[in-house]
Structure 1
């Protein structure tokens, strides 16, 4: 099968190309990108004038709830939602049930995902057995099974020696450790940001110091071991500053932010809004603005959805008993486009935060439109404006804090290896 896409504004963050061009696809691979006409004929020609063409989105944190929580969602429900959102690859955190701590679980996940659709599913292996935080997992076997990194999700480690040994072993295998930076003693079972809103509502707080203390700890271990870490879901201004400092010193530290943290603040929790119960918690407006600045400057190199679909009952209890998380796959791209519009961020830079930046974290063959690379890409109408309706989400999870909010941009077509997996 061959396809020529003509007249689109092509955004290729890997090469820095931003301009009107023609892109050709043959046998699942990109075989031409340029302003001139390619050699040879194509079976299909698509006029994409007025649209943006960019690499498919790679989402560094998306829980599709399989295995173990299929009452919330499944590969069969979430993969079509990903395709409709321009997402061609996701990274699955290790806190499935059972945890991803053996090659058998990795293989099971890949088989189930492939049966549901051609989404590129990348898997993080558990840093410790059963995510219990005590004994290190069989890291070498997990790498051989295809894990792209290691992490312990939200689960704490038993002590600092386990953390240091984990970094040493992971470094020896060339694997990046994905860190959720939150000191368990300081967070102390809290559910909201420590500030006036949480105090007024009488909710247990998670201070910004919980993130800052954890980051200082992990960065100090990077200094000692030379291991690479990726900080997932930054939420504070001071945390962004620590990552910035580490990068300026040449340390192998990268970071991402959940897209909802670029818009919502702890003020949105007012009224015990359970749709805004997320971990890490929504922080202050000052923290949000600092995160936005860090994304613009590239300190935070990736924007993710932190997709966590829930059944309706999970959000109907008193706030502390509700389950944290937002169904975020379908709002990732439109919120990112809205962010770029509001901040004046260049479209090419935004494309980098959604594709080539995440790809660099897990060393994936993604985020590039160069000849010879997989034709995983999307066409988007960047000028479209619409309102998100929770009831109309394709995801099985309708838990979103953005119900009724204006969205920027609509996906027109998504392709994986040259095959159309979604078309509007």
Structure 2
């Protein structure tokens, strides 16, 4: 393999302290690091003081293939991920066909390996069609390579099904990931049930739909000993439940999406479906609670819930549009700008949320440090210059983001997988 030197990069030492370094990559690994390295390599990249980080990790993306390629493909989704600075992602199973059997799982897995430009680990479904009450053959799917199990997009409505799934996931030492939503409390809602839904005269989704099912699951998780992971936590009550569960020894981890950290229902100024997602944007007190939960360790990581849709599926009213927003190309930038640059959090904490904790909690092989001997999955970010998010720059097929037009810092300059460039912003111009 070729050799590469990245010179004049800055890496995180601790908190927000940065040190300047040169990095030499050989055979896909970091071979040398020092303030100045006078060694010959096949290629030299001048980072010009930009931030060099281990490649980001996202445990919650939707790449839509097979079955919904008009929304996204593995190729476009992975290219968008590389543009966001991500080198490892975990892809959800709400596909057609749903990976509920070894055969369908291996078909998706083969597509990931064939078309992905980054590392893609694949979820298998808990049950057929994401709705069946009969649990899949968890042992066989784990043996086939399933990174974890989830029916994301659907809450598991039957408690016995969830108990059986947790027991099975625990027996193969894989996380059980839950989209917590009691459908009997959603009742056709399209946004959070609250003041804004009343003002807009739109049906609301009761926040109890999330927290009540979460409470059920946490009790079952404690009884089964499974590693239970909560997807896209969004309410104050849910944060409190996870906090208490952790204090009581439940093996629970949780994620929060950038949009639930940075937006709430007061941002919905009209019937604009770019703000329609599930879970919905909650009340301001919920947003403050998830920020607090992230800062105190109740919530372990940031995950995008990248959910691309075709333009015509979002260019509708709240009542007719699809749920979800795209997020993989703006996640680091938004979190850096609003939480780190503003002084709420540190770069070290951001690294924990977007690299170290996902790797540790999901037992992934991805590197977590920029240090000698590590696989050279890396990303360079320009944290010193402002950039305005534009729909026409996305590599994802989905442009359904309420953050378009926002000015941020931390645009990705380059992304490397095993020392090879998989994204270069210079080629976008």
Q: TM-score, normalised by structure 2?
A: 0.93
Aligned pair in 2 of structure 1 residues 378, 287: CA closer, same or farther (>3 Å)?
Answer: same
- Which residue number in structure 1 is paired with residue 103 of structure 2? 104
In 2, Cα distance between equivalents of 1:107 and 1:33: 39
Write the mapping of 1:28-39 to structure 2, written as runs, cut at 5 A.
Answer: 28-33=28-33, 35=35, 37=37
- Which residue number in structure 2 is paired with residue 27 of structure 1? 27
In 1, Cα distance between equivalents of 2:35 and 2:317: 57
Contact 1:18–1:348 (8 Å) recurs in 2: no
Deviations 1:164-215 (A, max 9, x none): 1111111011011001122221122311111111012222211222211111
In 2, Cα distance between equivalents of 1:250 and 1:423: 44
- Which residue number in structure 1 is paired with residue 346 of structure 2? 346
- Which residue number in structure 2 is paired with residue 166 of structure 1? 165
In 2, Cα distance between equivalents of 1:194 and 1:255: 23
Superposition deviation, residue 318 in structure 1: 2.8
Alignment pair present for 1:361 and 2:367: no
Question: 5+ unaligned residues in a row in structure 2: which ranges?
Answer: none
Contact 1:305–1:332 (8 Å) recurs in 2: yes
Deviations 1:363-406 (A, max 9, x none): 11113334333211101111121111123322111111112111
In 1, Cα distance between equivalents of 2:390 and 2:46: 30
- Which residue number in structure 1 is paired with residue 6 of structure 2? 5
- Which residue number in structure 2 is paired with residue 190 of structure 1? 189
- Aligned to 1:344, the other structure's residue is in SS state coil
Per mean C-alpha deviation after superposition, the further-off stretch among 28-37 and 407-416 is 28-37
- Which residue number in structure 2 is paired with residue 133 of structure 1? 132
Per mean C-alpha deviation after superposition, the further-off stretch among 24-33 and 204-213 is 24-33
Deviations 1:103-162 (A, max 9, x none): 222222232233324311111111112222311101111111111100111223352111
Alignment pair present for 1:293 and 2:302: no
In 1, Cα distance between equivalents of 2:275 and 2:16: 36
- Aligned to 1:330, the other structure's residue is in SS state coil
- Which residue number in structure 2 is paired with residue 419 of structure 1? 420
- Aligned to 1:190, the other structure's residue is in SS state coil
Per mean C-alpha deviation after superposition, the further-off stretch among 47-56 and 323-332 is 47-56
In 2, Cα distance between equivalents of 1:360 and 1:98: 30
Contact 1:269–1:277 (8 Å) recurs in 2: no
- Aligned to 1:156, the other structure's residue is in SS state coil
In 1, Cα distance between equivalents of 2:315 and 2:412: 32
Aligned pair in 2 of structure 1 residues 343, 184: CA closer, same or farther (>3 Å)?
Answer: farther
In 1, Cα distance between equivalents of 2:13 and 2:323: 35
Superposition deviation, residue 17 in structure 1: 9.0
In 1, Cα distance between equivalents of 2:49 and 2:37: 19
- Which residue number in structure 1 is paired with residue 153 of structure 2? 154
In 2, Cα distance between equivalents of 1:182 and 1:157: 8
- Aligned to 1:95, the other structure's residue is in SS state coil
Contact 2:196–2:265 (8 Å) recurs in 1: yes
- Which residue number in structure 2 is paired with residue 387 of structure 1? 388
Task: Report how many residues are paired.
Answer: 422
- Which residue number in structure 2 is paired with residue 410 of structure 1? 411
- Aligned to 1:61, the other structure's residue is in SS state strand
In 1, Cα distance between equivalents of 2:317 and 2:113: 38
RMSD (Å) for aligned C-alpha atoms: 2.1
Q: TM-score, normalised by structure 1?
A: 0.94
Superposition deviation, residue 335 in structure 1: 0.6
In 2, Cα distance between equivalents of 1:130 and 1:31: 46
Write the mapping of 1:112-261 to structure 2, written as runs, cut at 5 A.
Answer: 112-261=111-260
Contact 1:385–1:408 (8 Å) recurs in 2: yes
- Aligned to 2:360, the other structure's residue is in SS state helix
Alignment pair present for 1:55 and 2:61: no
Contact 1:192–1:205 (8 Å) recurs in 2: yes
Contact 1:12–1:351 (8 Å) recurs in 2: no
In 2, Cα distance between equivalents of 1:18 and 1:176: 34
Superposition deviation, residue 41 in structure 1: 4.8
Contact 1:133–1:155 (8 Å) recurs in 2: no
Write the mapping of 1:270-285 to structure 2, written as runs, cut at 5 A.
Answer: 270-285=269-284
Superposition deviation, residue 236 in structure 1: 0.9
In 2, Cα distance between equivalents of 1:384 and 1:117: 30
